[in-house]
Amino acid sequence: MTRSPMTRRSRVAIAVVAASLAAPLFVAVQPAAARAPAEDPIVTVHVRDNTFSPPRLAVKPGTVVRWVNEGRNRHNVTPNSGKAFGSGDLAPGQSYTFRFGDAGDFAYYCSLHGAPGRGQHAALAVDENVAVGNASTVGSGKARPPRISPSGRTIAVPGDARTIQGAVDRARRGDLVLVAPGVYHESVTVATDGVVIRGVDRNRTILDGDFKQKNGVAVLGADGVAIENLTTRNFTENGLFWNDAQGYRASYVTAYRNGDYGLYAFGSQWGTLDHSYASGSPDAGFYIGQCNPCRAVITDVVSEYNQLGYSGTNSSDLYIVRSIFRNNRTGVAPNSLSSEELGPQGHNTIVGNLIEKNGNTDAAQTTDDIWDVVYGTGIAVVGGVGNRILRNRLPGNALAGIVIASNPGLDGHPFPATDNVVRGNDVHGTRVADLATALLTPADENCFATNQYGTSAPRDIEALMPCTEASTGDVDDNALPIATFFDAAQLAPGRNYRDTPIPSAQPNMPRARSATARPAGVPPRIDVTAIARPS
């Protein structure tokens, strides 16, 4: 998501606009007033990180289609077949245009983040008579979790296949790819459902991108893929990446010094990220986004020295539990943004986590400083709806402990923060406020109760915004000024992701060499009442 600092970062506060769960198969677009040349209508496709918007487009012959890269990464326009059109790689801000003179159906994808019909892909119909049908939106919740049984087959690397990619290419549904210790200088793409990739030793089975290759493992539209017990490091984009997947899991994975995200799931549902470690990401160590509902669980993970320990844009119905987010620039940041579909963010349960010492200058810092808007905050919910923040411990975060803020929507798409509950947390040792709000009204019905804290903005926040009755008084009186988030004087410089600390050895998966393969499916059930606040 590439934007100017004010525009992009201001989008971190968000309005309650329900995402449509059903979209037209093709969106008929009225030509814009601009023409190039004068007789040809022109329409725009917005290329964002992992999506084309609209994903299905119908135009009349003679229309000029312009693709504009509004993401933060490089993307391209690659036709599924033929060479009638197509771009090279487009850097953020660059565009590509093509005039479609003849009728026909044209499918395309980004070869960096998708494949024909999978991942980042789209379709274009050129016809005098634009047909309109119906199709469900990605992440609408209509998809069911995969139920994939292990095949009992194992492909050993390097015994049966010299490379991990070679083994994945041979794998069939439910197969286990078992990788011996070693440093593998490759980037792996998975497009087969139910493959399990497992290292024999988490700390010695290493995928290394040498700061040249993009993703450690990219799962493009394949369901039920699980990655286990290995390390992925030094990639220019992501350690692990799932796009448009139903069922995904990372267990006992270490991801460090990757140039965007550590563990990254986009437009995907039914996910589990457990017993994993992420550090040195100039965006988020753990990220789940554009899914409503996500039906995902993050549990027993450690995230440190990242720009954000966890971030999730427009991600609803997920759990973040029993984990540690420390020494990042920002700890945990669920948010609603108009730059991705399916907003607003909502209904996350964040319980039983240790979130400490965020605002650390040894953490990775992105070159686009907009994500520092919530620098030094333990938990920042921006534009979220119905989140439950329960029984977490937040000592020593640099600026603020827990902040609930609306997204003012400087791009014209505001997202209010509503119905969020902050209860039973232990928050202390911050410079500005342990508990804080920004840009809220009494009608938003956010509430605070039974927290242990020293300072708040507004003052007496639990009396002003109780959970037992409607808010009383002026909740904006002495609230945290939104300008605090944009004040560069609050910031301290961080590190380039390549220079962040190297982690110590992490615990191995039990019985990694012999355990039966377990393709990803329904996440574990979380008993929220059984999770205590860390001591």
Nearest CA-CA partner of 332 in 365, 366, 360, 309: 309
Which pLDDT score is estimated for 470? Answer: 64
Which regions of the chain are under pLDDT 70?
1-41, 129-143, 368-371, 470-474, 476-490
The predicted pLDDT at position 471 comes to 59
Q: Which residue has the tokens 């999506």?
A: 51
Q: Which residues of 416-445 are buried (b: 16+ CB within 10 A; e: fewer)?
A: bbbbbbbbbbbbeebebbbbbbbbbeeebb
Distance in angstroms (rounded) separating the CA atoms of residues 456 and 238: 37
Q: Which CATH class is domain 22-136?
A: mainly beta
Cβ(312)–Cβ(303) below 8 Å: no
Q: Give the tokens for residue 449.
A: 């109760």
Instruction: Tell which residue, 282, 280, 320, has the closest CA to residue 300.
Output: 320
Distance CA 520, CA 248 (A): 5
Amino acid at 517: A
- Identify residue 416 by its one-letter amino acid code: P
pLDDT of 40: 53
Cβ atoms of residues 176 and 196 within 8 Å = yes
Reported as a single tens digit per residue, the pLDDT across 191-231 is: 999 999 999 999 999 999 999 999 999 999 899 999 999 99
User: What is the length of the chain?
Assistant: 535
Q: Could you identify the residue written with the tokens 């600390």? A: 501
Query: Half-sphere exposure of residue 332, counting CA atoms within 13 Å on the CB side?
Result: 30
Antiparallel, parallel or unpaired: β 308-313 and 284-289 = parallel
Residue 404, helix vs strand vs coil: strand
CB-hemisphere CA count at 13 Å for 364? 31
Superfamily of chain region 154-499: Single-stranded right-handed beta-helix, Pectin lyase-like (2.160.20.10)
Separation between Cα atoms, residue 395 and residue 389, nearest integer Å: 15
What is each CA distance from 497 to 261, 323, 361, 362, in whole angstroms? 11, 22, 12, 10
Instruction: Give residue-wise pLDDT tens across range 232-242.
Output: 999 999 999 99
- List the domain boundaries for the chain: 22-136, 154-499
Whole-angstrom distance, CA of residue 311 vs CA of residue 322: 17
Q: Are strands 51-53 and 42-48 parallel, antiparallel or unpaired?
A: antiparallel
Cβ atoms 507, 202 nearer than 8 A = yes
CA angle in degrees (0–180, nearest 5) for 437-438-443: 80
pLDDT recorded at residue 527:
95
